[in-house]
Structure 1
Amino acid sequence: MKLVVQVRLMPDAVQAPALKRTLRTVNECANRVSEGSFENFGLKGSVRDLRSMSYGELKARGLGAQAAQHVIKRVVDAYTTLRANIRAVNLGKEGSKRRIKAGSKPVVFRVDAAHTFDDRCLSWNYDAQAVSIWTFDGRIKNLRFVCSPGALKQLAEHRRGESDLVFRDGKWFLVATIDVPDAEVFEPKGWIGVDRGVNNLATTSDGTNYTGRRLNRYRRWQARKKAELQAKRTRSATRLLKKRARREARHATHINHRISKDIVAVAQRTDRGISVEELAGIRERVTVRRDQRATQSSWPFHQLGSFLEYKARRAGVPFIAVDPAYTSQRCPRCGHTERANRPTREHFRCRRCGLAGPADHVAGVNIAKRGALAWGFVNSPVPESA
């Protein structure tokens, strides 16, 4: 299982300018290659095409062989992603303004966008907590980094492949890829269903409710501050808006980590699996109240599901995604399904058998039952052909 570990670099007064110049120059080179690729090959330039077109120019700019290869591969990967988004209609239907705009100009890289380093350009010394990295001003040795003891152990035991140099909010980071072996998945004795929502971020079939009340207050406060900054229309206000957006995203990620960690710990302790709703396309399928539209569009529901999935895999906990249809309208006792079973957003009451309770808890129970059925179907033995 591939994960990432982030460490913070601690460059001195000489090392920091060298890193900044390197990052800025490689991104300028990436923009030059992107422009040439778009002019000559449109959105379909390959590594071979771009190498023959721009490798000599990149070397003349002072890039090493590996650095030049990484710049070319970054450009190719960017156009590959753009083509995939167009095919998946993520940028709108054919003829839409957003899709036309995305496909009518070269891909542009920010001046401080992350750049990739492999083991030829970057080496690690875990005992000294330092790295040696290639820059335009020569190779920097003994560049210190800091991280938690757990992250350092993961790096020493499982680091594989490339690392990204990142500059964010005036700080330098290295994001390294680790390859952790998957734990053996146990046979579940039961299931925990997890219902995700707007007011309640997650509700389990055990009745545990991770409310979003405090988070919603925080987001409303952030929205007021955002409106105040947008009204100023100055460059400094724009910079503060971007900084606040990153802070809010980090806050949401932290909360999703806490929720997923708690649910996986309970499942591992009780030898149960985790079942969640398959929420692909939820924004197109579900209609919410006007006052909840911004929350539904901005909260990372998918991120919570992905955190649950990878933490479950790492702990050996069974994980499965099930059909979300009518999970909050179906009675888990008698099976009666009707919209009237849910008279309000918070409450459920079966019109046939009278079962009543919180709607999110009922949905979690239904998700747990569907998870058990789906797991049994997926893992049932294949009958031998006659």
Structure 2
Amino acid sequence: MKIVVRVKLMPDAGQASALERTLSAANEAANRVSVVAFERFGLRARELPLRKLCYGELKAQGFGAQAAQHIIKRTVDAYTTLRANIRNGRLGGEGSPRRRKATSEPVRFRRYAAHTYDDRCLSWNYDAQTVSIWTLDGRMKNVRFACSPGALKQLVESRQGESDLVFRDGKWFVTATCEVPEAPQFAPKDWIGVDRGVVNLATTSDGDNYQGRRLDRYRRWQARKRAELQAKKTRSAKQLLHKRARREARHATYINHAVSKQVVVVAARTGRGIAVEELSGIRGRVTVPRDQRARLSSWPFHRLGQFLAYKARRAGVPFLEVDPAYTSQHCPRCGHTERANRPDRDTFRCRRCGLAGPADHVAGVNVRQRARSAWVFVNMPEPAPAKANG
């Protein structure tokens, strides 16, 4: 399986200037290629025809052969992603404003969007912790990088494929792709159902509850700080806002890593699989009051599901996504489903058999039961072919 390792580059002033010029020029060239692709092929851009149209021009502008190829490939990949988003409904239905805007103009690349490098354009010296990287000003050698000992070990053992040059908040990074082996997946003895929520980030069928109260409080504090700084409208306030830009997202990522790691460790130790609800598109299906919209939009359920999935794969733990319909209103004991079974957000009380408990725990139990049924169905042996008479 593929994972990424990010290292921080520490270029001197001259190296940073060359990197900035190269990244900006690469994205400007990608925008020109995107215009050609849109005018000639619409959203159906293909790499080989686009290469015939744009490769010579890119070479004439000073880009090396590999850099020119990557600019064209990035553009084609952007249109492929756009088509996939349209096909999956992520941009709304036919005629929706978002979809109409996305399909009426060429794909645009930000000035400092990440640019792809392969091993011909970027080489690593792990002992000296330096990289040699191609730029428009020539090959720059001995650009230092910093990372943790664990990340360096991961790079040495399993780095392969392409890397991305990233410029963010005045800092330079290289994101490298590593191919790590997956542990063989075991046959689960049972399943751990995980219910994801806003107040409780995750609640398992075992009754373990990972509360989101601290994260929610941290987000409210960050929102107040942003409002105070924005109200000042001074240069120093704007600098502080820029400095704090992604702090909240990094904190939420850390929390999700911690929660998913604990769930996977318990599953691996007990020989069980992990099951979650399939929640894609839930923000478009759910209507909430105005004062709750920011809270719902910042709900990190998708990232938590991604972390659970990839950590489970690395540990050999089976992972399933099940139908989320009525998991918080369905009684796991008698099967009765009714909205009145959940009189409030925190409580479940079956109107038929009287089963009561925390609503999120009951939802986790329902997820576990659906995973049991789904696993049996998936692993059901195929019927033997009928014998012909005579």
* TM-score calculated relative to the size of structure 2: 0.92
Q: Offset at 1:243?
A: 5.5
Match of 1:265 in 2: 265
Comparing 93-102 with 365-374, greater Cα deviation is found at 93-102
Alignment of 1:113-192 (within 5 A): 113-192=113-192
Q: Secondary structure at the match of 1:72?
A: helix
List per-residue Cα deviations over 1:20-58 (Å, max 9, x = no partner).
Answer: 111111112112222232333333332223222221221
| Counterpart residue identity of residue 56, structure 1 | G
Match of 1:340 in 2: 340
| Counterpart residue identity of residue 192, structure 1 | I
TM-aligned CA distance change 1:115 to 1:255, over 3 Å: same
Comparing 160-169 with 102-111, greater Cα deviation is found at 102-111
Match of 1:70 in 2: 70
> Does 2:12 match 1:19?
no
Q: Offset at 1:246?
A: 2.3
Q: Secondary structure at the match of 2:89?
A: coil
Comparing 255-264 with 98-107, greater Cα deviation is found at 98-107
Comparing 296-305 with 113-122, greater Cα deviation is found at 296-305
List per-residue Cα deviations over 1:2-30 (Å, max 9, x = no partner).
Answer: 11111111212332222111111111211
> Does 2:5 match 1:31?
no
Q: Offset at 1:255?
A: 1.2
Distance 1:8 1:198 in 2: 33
Q: Secondary structure at the match of 1:255?
A: helix
TM-aligned CA distance change 1:381 to 1:237, over 3 Å: farther
Q: Offset at 1:61?
A: 1.2
Q: Secondary structure at the match of 1:175?
A: strand
* TM-score calculated relative to the size of structure 1: 0.93
> Does 2:297 match 1:307?
no
> Does 2:252 match 1:285?
no
Distance 2:100 2:276 in 1: 36
Match of 2:42 in 1: 42
**Structure 2 contact 5–175 (Cα < 8 Å) conserved:** yes
Alignment of 1:207-356 (within 5 A): 207-228=207-228, 244-356=244-356
Q: Secondary structure at the match of 2:13?
A: coil
Q: Offset at 1:227?
A: 4.1
Match of 1:364 in 2: 364
TM-aligned CA distance change 1:146 to 1:13, over 3 Å: same
Q: Secondary structure at the match of 1:134?
A: strand
Match of 2:204 in 1: 204
List per-residue Cα deviations over 1:101-123 (Å, max 9, x = no partner).
Answer: 22222222111111000111111
TM-aligned CA distance change 1:36 to 1:181, over 3 Å: same
Q: Secondary structure at the match of 2:138?
A: coil
Q: Offset at 1:245?
A: 4.6
Match of 1:374 in 2: 374
Distance 2:87 2:326 in 1: 30
**Structure 2 contact 340–351 (Cα < 8 Å) conserved:** yes
| Counterpart residue identity of residue 80, structure 1 | T
Q: Offset at 1:289?
A: 4.6
| Counterpart residue identity of residue 173, structure 1 | F
Q: Secondary structure at the match of 1:178?
A: strand
Distance 1:157 1:305 in 2: 27
Distance 2:89 2:279 in 1: 17
List per-residue Cα deviations over 1:327-352 (Å, max 9, x = no partner).
Answer: 11122222222221111110111222
Q: Secondary structure at the match of 1:139?
A: strand
Distance 1:150 1:98 in 2: 42
Alignment of 1:80-99 (within 5 A): 80-99=80-99
Q: Secondary structure at the match of 1:167?
A: strand
| Counterpart residue identity of residue 9, structure 2 | L
Q: Offset at 1:99?
A: 2.2
TM-aligned CA distance change 1:135 to 1:188, over 3 Å: same
Q: Secondary structure at the match of 1:215?
A: helix
Comparing 286-295 with 348-357, greater Cα deviation is found at 286-295
Distance 2:204 2:196 in 1: 9
**Structure 2 contact 169–242 (Cα < 8 Å) conserved:** no
